[in-house]
Chain A
Amino acid sequence: MTARPTAAPADHRAGEPINESEAIARLRQNADPSQQYYAAWWLGRMRSQHPEAVPLLRDALRQRRGRDPGAGIEENAVARNAARALGKLAPAATDAIPDLLAVLGDPDDGLREAAARALGDLRAESALKPICQLLASGPNQAGASRPDSPRMMEPCEALLEALGDIGIADPAVLAVVEPFIDHARPLIRSAAARALLQLTGEPRWGDLLVSLLNHHQLQVRRAALMDLGAAGWRPALESIRRTPAENSLKLIALRGLVEQGCGAPAEDALLACMDELL
């Protein structure tokens, strides 16, 4: 998994500290999308439990559709931040699952990506089928590079990770994920291995992630660290200790081994390694 960009406030006013009621008010108005954009981010970041947060975020996700696609980037950006925030508010945001499913078909692949991650955070079983449909054409089509940008036809990394997070090891799901193990991009191979490891617990997927810790690109080693942590693959301990990458990321990965994993090496060995890396 690559580090998810934290959407930063768009203008100088938006950067000032605000409180929860101010965030709710900014999201409710719709004259200034940049205010909504910041408010949506804030509510997710602060894990707001305000009763109006989820309904307003759902509105923000919906209000984008039906608008003039030429109206500028702001409407898209508000919807993306609303989707991310709904994921962070899981499980309280379960009511938003139908809205997130609806934007999985949106023409904006950035919004599809944010929606997929949020559905994964919400463990939304109803998302399995639509996500598998987006990936079904496999690495050569869904995973093909666009002619005009470094992005792929579908946001494969987010879609694969969502399948792992939802956690239903249905044979149909595994059949969709497995071909991505041979994708040309190592980050996609890492996301596929992570999902398969979470779904099946089979050591071969953990071994594949461990082998990516030896990749020559730092970006790939970082992704493999995050994916091993998300899957809690404890046999990776020594490889995590040795891979050349920031201690901050190793600590996050080891936290995942402690919290998501089980078996050997035991917790005292994991904690001893974390203590060393501080």
Chain B
Amino acid sequence: MPSPVPLNALIDQLRQASSSEALVLATRALASSGDPGAAPVLVEVLGYNNPGAAVAAVDGLVALGAEAVDPLLRLDPDNYGARAWAVRALAGIGDVRGLELLIDALGSDVAASVRRAAAKGLGNLRLDPLEPPIRLAVQQRCLNALLAAGSDGEWVVRYAVAVALESLARQLEPASVAWQRLEECLVALCEAADDNPPVVQLRARVALDRLDAQ
């Protein structure tokens, strides 16, 4: 096994990258260090307008998990490009501190790719460590945001909503009002309509079948 390169050297390499390719390679190297000290620099890369590097940075941030959340939340909200990547990272991490950003992105981001990532993230938040009353409140907020996005104009966002509702349902009491509202939304997504393509109907049907079999 090669001896690990010190974090400072990896960061220097990234800052001195003189081409787009070099930046991608340096970001990958830093991302795979697994060092929490890399998080703020990986977050910085999200704003460089280099999609290859941003993908590598998101992978690294997701791998760091909870350690990456604070730097992600400190991101300048006016830097749209960076924020879109941060939503993807937070969706992958599943830390409840990302809740507000994910709800906001799902409800108001202009890009369908960001809304779909936010939807998936809201179905993937890890709520087990929370006290029961807080957990219920968070689930309720996730559910409300997802139900509203069930009528998003883009099929891919509705597809993501079906996926997220399936995961969220696994955490809810089957006989609860919340579970019933969730099921109603999936039933609506199963319906054939001019602007609801078969793939969305199929995914919602699969979700309902799996929940029934549970």
Contact = CB atoms under 8 A, between A and B. Distances in A.
A271 B156 contact: no
A258 B113 CA distance: 20
Interface stretch (A116-124, A170-178, A185-193, A247-255): A247-255
Interface residues of A, number: 15
Contacts of B119: 278
Contact of B117 (A47, A258, A278): A278
Most buried by B among A247, A252, A259, A278: A278
B197 A259 contact: yes
A16 interface: no
Given A274-B159, A278-B160, A247 B199 contact: no
Contacts of B51: 246
Contacts of B155: 255
A248 B197 contact: no
A268 interface: yes
Given A278-B120, A278-B163, A248 B198 contact: no
A267 B120 CA distance: 20
A271 B120 contact: no
A189 to B, nearest CB: 26
A275 interface: yes
Nearest to B206: A271
B194 interface: yes
B145 to A, nearest CB: 15
B116 interface: yes
B203 to A, nearest CB: 6
B41 interface: no
Interface string B195-209: 001110011001000
Contacts of B198: 258-259
A259 B163 contact: no
B66 interface: no
Nearest to A49: B194
Contacts of A247: 113
Contacts of A248: 112-113, 156
A143 B167 CA distance: 51
Interface hub of A251, A252, A259, A268 (most chain B Cβ within 10 A): A251
A258 B163 contact: no
Nearest to B167: A275
Contacts of B197: 255, 259
26 contacts: A47-B194, A247-B113, A248-B112, A248-B156, A252-B156, A255-B155, A255-B197, A258-B198, A258-B202, A259-B197, A259-B198, A267-B202, A271-B202, A271-B203, A274-B159, A274-B199, A274-B203, A275-B120, A275-B163, A278-B116, A278-B117, A278-B119, A278-B120, A278-B159, A278-B160, A278-B163
Query: Which 10 residue pairs spanning A and B have beta carbons closest together?
Result: A278-B120, A255-B199, A258-B199, A278-B160, A248-B113, A259-B198, A275-B163, A278-B116, A251-B156, A259-B199
